[in-house]
Structure 1
Amino acid sequence: MTVPMLEWGAAADQAELAVLAVHGRGQDPGFMRDTARRFGPAPVRFVAPEAEGNTWYPLSFLEPAERNQPALDRSLRTLETCLGRLAERGFDAGRVVLWGFSQGACLLSQLVLTRPRRVASLVIFTGGYVGTEAPPVPGDAVLHGVPAVLRSIEHDPWVPRHRVEDTAALLRRAGAEVDLRIDPGTEHVITDEACAAATRLFTTVASRGAGRRAG
């Protein structure tokens, strides 16, 4: 599978982490790169795939999941392909952060809850699982202890607060260490606080990984 990707940040051979950055509907990897410029310095390599037509699936994530097929499954496979390529480049599961905004955050939420895998951490900006039925809580403790930053806006026009909170609850039940914050407002935006929280997470997780390798 050929997946167009944009990369930036620390050189691959110097980065402590890889960040798989997944854009929203109507956006492209350049949006994620521009957002990442609002983060503080961190030893990470960003890798951002591009959705065909800049859309990962056609309808709202609040619709029944089957109504977004086959695009939904195709997009999930795209992310799995990206993770496989990162592993080939030396970024194993413990060195990969999943970061998404809007539709990208929804897609990543769906990935970790329905196709669970061990990752270093999660950054979910304004999104939640896809469909009308909550997926079962992932088993096998693959998300146990995984730090997750979830951020959203109280009256976001596309993503209701309750879906973000429900997704956070599922992640907690799966064992993730969830940091959830929903700020007041009505716009579909990423706040400066969210960017700062992501940077803190990147640096904390990177330092843990560096310490393990040094030991």
Structure 2
Amino acid sequence: MPLFRVDPENPFSGPHQNQQIVTGGVDLDEAKMAMILIHGRGASAQSMLMFADEFEAEQIHYRAIQAEGHTWYSRSFMAPKEMNQPGIKSGLQAIYDQIAELNNIGIPTNKVVLLGFSQGACLTTEFAARHPQQFAGIVGLSGGLIGDEINLQNYKGSMKQTPVFLGCSDRDPHIPQERVDLTEEIFQKIGANVTKKIYVGMGHTVNQDEIAHVNQILSSS
């Protein structure tokens, strides 16, 4: 079955459309780049905006997307994709809509970073791999591509050497390292410049080294 990809002519409508968008950083008319933040299960857009305070960047506009019910999809990210619909499709559409809005006000996609944590990292990496193009950066913190099975042939196109950072624990209770490894392989296949860091015993969280990698992407964009 082919993967769902956003169709600009026929946008998907689901639970995550028309949800709250929380913004921060500089105003859009002052911004040279933007970051779209996607929260994890049970979290909020506001919590991701607070997380963005860790980043060192000037002239950046932040916007964090809120999932309906604080959950992008109901089951494990390794469940069959059809069991997590319409959440996945609706979440992918929500990311696309924010990119399109930024494009419309003059920030091109190659000046947009997508960053997600946990369930948000799964949605972030899935969006980028299904819609390969040049971004300023893709950051997946404790997450990976979605589904019980991953077919490499489903992911085609070019990321045009977009920097991709994947960070995860070697014993994350929710994200098997093997899925992070496979996510790295697919991004390499579609032309991304991938950095993967597996942290021994970290658990399901974010550390300072990961934040430093995000700052490195921002400083080079």
Q: After alignment, is 39-48 or 49-58 more displaced?
A: 39-48
Deviations 1:121-159 (A, max 9, x none): 111111111101214353332x02111111111111111
Aligned partners of 2:168 and 2:199 also within 8 Å: yes
Q: Does 1:149 align with 2:162?
A: no
Aligned equivalent of 2:174 = 158
2:84 alignment partner in structure 1: 68
Look up the match of 1:181. 197
Return the alpha-carbon distance in structure 2 between the equivalents of residues 177 and 42 of structure 1: 24
After superposing on structure 2, the runs of 4+ consecutive aligned residues of structure 1 that deviate more than 6 Å are: none
> Partners in 1 of 2:132 and 2:161 — Cα distance?
14
Over aligned residue pairs, what C-alpha RMSD do you find? 1.5
Q: Quick one: distance in 2 between partners of 1:79 and 1:86? A: 11
Question: Where in structure 1 are there 5+ consecutive unaligned residues?
Answer: 206-215
The residue type paired with residue 63 of structure 2 is V
Aligned to 2:126: 110
Instruction: Report 1:30-109 matches (<5 A).
Output: 30-109=46-125
Q: What SS does the corresponding residue of 1:13 show, helix, strand or coil?
A: helix
Q: Which of 27, 38, 42 is residue 22 of structure 1 equivalent to?
A: 38
Distance 1:123 1:113 in 2: 12
- Say whether the 8 Å CA contact 1:98–1:121 is kept in structure 2: yes
In the alignment, is the contact (CA less than 8 A) between 1:65 and 1:131 conserved in 2? yes
Cα gap change, 1:152/1:42 in structure 2, threshold over 3 Å: closer, same or farther? farther
Q: 1:58 to 1:89 in 2, by over 3 A?
A: same
Answer with 3-12 or 161-170: which moved more. 3-12
Tell me by how many angstroms 1:186 deviates.
4.6
Q: Deviations over 1:147-195 (max 9, x none)?
A: 1111111111111111111101110111100011011115211001111
Corresponding pairs, count: 204
**Structure 1: which amino acid aligns with 2:101?**
R
Matched AA of 2:146: V
Give deviations 1:76-127, integer Å, cap 9, x for gaps: 1111111111111211111111111100000011112223343221111111
What is residue 216 of structure 2 aligned with on the other side?
A: 200
Tell me how far 1:33 sits from its aligned partner: 1.5
Amino acid at match of 1:109: T
Indicate whether 1:139 and 2:156 are aligned.
yes
Contact 1:18 1:44 in 2 (8 A): yes
Compared with structure 1, are the counterparts of its residues 3 and 82 closer, same or farther at alpha carbon in structure 2 (3 Å cutoff)? farther
Corresponding position of 1:209: none
d(CA) in 1 for partners of 2:47, 2:27: 20
Which runs of 5 or more residues in structure 2 are unaligned?
1-16
Displacement of 1:2 = 2.0
How far off is 1:197 after superposition? 0.9
